[in-house]
Amino acid sequence: MRAMVSKAPGTPLVLEERPDPLPGPGEIRVRITACAVCRTDLHVVDGDLPPHRADIVPGHEIVGRIDAIGAGVEGFALGERVGIPWLGHACGTCPYCSSGAENLCDAPAFTGWDRDGGFATHVVADAGFAVRLGDLDLDDVSAAPLMCAGLIGWRSLVRAGEGRALGLYGFGAAAHIVAQVAKFQGRRVHAFTRPGDRAAQEFARSLGCDWAGPAGAAPPEPLDAAIIFAPVGELVPEALRVVRKGGRVVCGGIHMSDIPAFPYALLWQEREVVSVANLTRADARDFLTVAARARPHIATRTYPLEAANAALDDLRAGRLSGAAVLVP
């Protein structure tokens, strides 16, 4: 197999030839047809997240076909299309897993951080955490961003509550999917972009957003909730300024720069700041059911596997509308 490997934080990925991995008990091997590039991959490669394993293969928005099945795996077939998301394993026995919060598991394993991920031609995954995609009416490239941008975006949207006026900070892969799902639900969506990024604002409007403008601008109405996808701590007080009394600000990323001090008056009147951590298998089932009805348009730019560093550079520099997707 071929794989793009992170040898050391802050250095470019290196192309390696490796023996094809073999699935162990309870595992499947997937021949990868598409793997989207997530900002979390960027945090792993750049060292914003501490390394969990040497020589890791990043990537956790994986779509492919099962080409080998390990002992004890039932219910999957060779050739079946599946997705492999960020949560690669949970212990199943800790208090969080026992209460249905496997996203907070005390002993998890994450795809592309603890387990080798999808910047490769093949990946081995825990069969219990593979997502069936057989009924999803999207091609593999379009389906790949759903495995994290879609799933984390959905969990963030659920955490935001049922308010009608929603703000989205950072209009990238997750926000462009969430915006369309929120419009399908009948919400009014306000997109906040980098100052001066008129292309992103026009992209947001083209997907049905009711308003688009720069972060720091006042939307045309008080917001019931805001979701922050950009890893910028300064946006938390900005979002608190524009949510109504009792409103909620959801931080949707795994990494964010420090949140600056802000006056208590911004939080007063029962405003809330909450975070989203990882995802659950129930999130995948719920989201794919909604996505099948909402039928969001997934904007992608494809790259060959060997161009993974270029894809990461484009994401780092904000040159993407939608999601970058590696095609082996």
Joined together, the tokens standing for residue 179 give 């915006």
Per-residue pLDDT in tens (0 to 9) along the chain, 328 residues: 999 999 999 999 999 999 999 999 999 999 999 999 999 999 999 999 999 999 999 999 999 999 999 999 999 999 999 999 999 999 999 999 999 999 999 999 999 999 999 999 999 999 999 999 988 999 999 999 999 999 999 999 999 999 999 999 999 999 999 999 999 999 999 999 999 999 999 999 999 999 999 999 999 999 999 999 999 999 999 999 999 999 999 999 999 999 999 999 999 999 999 999 999 999 999 999 999 999 999 999 999 999 999 999 999 999 999 999 999 9
Q: What are the pLDDT digits (tens) for 168-209?
A: 999 999 999 999 999 999 999 999 999 999 999 999 999 999
Structure pTM? 0.95
Q: Which residues contact 325 (CB under 8 A, 6 or more apart)?
A: 34, 35, 36, 37, 141, 144, 145, 300, 301, 302, 303
Q: Tabulate helix, strand, coil % of the chain (nearest 5).
A: 30, 30, 40
Task: Tell me which fold the domain 2-147+279-327 belongs to.
Answer: Quinone Oxidoreductase; Chain A, domain 1 (3.90.180)
The CATH homologous superfamily for domain 151-275 is NAD(P)-binding Rossmann-like Domain (3.40.50.720)
- Write the pLDDT tens digit of every residue in 262-271: 999 999 999 9
Residue 280 corresponds to which tokens in the numbers above? Answer: 């659950």
Q: Where are the beta strands (DSSP E) in 186-237?
A: 188-193, 211-214, 223-228
Give the domain ranges of the chain: 2-147+279-327, 151-275
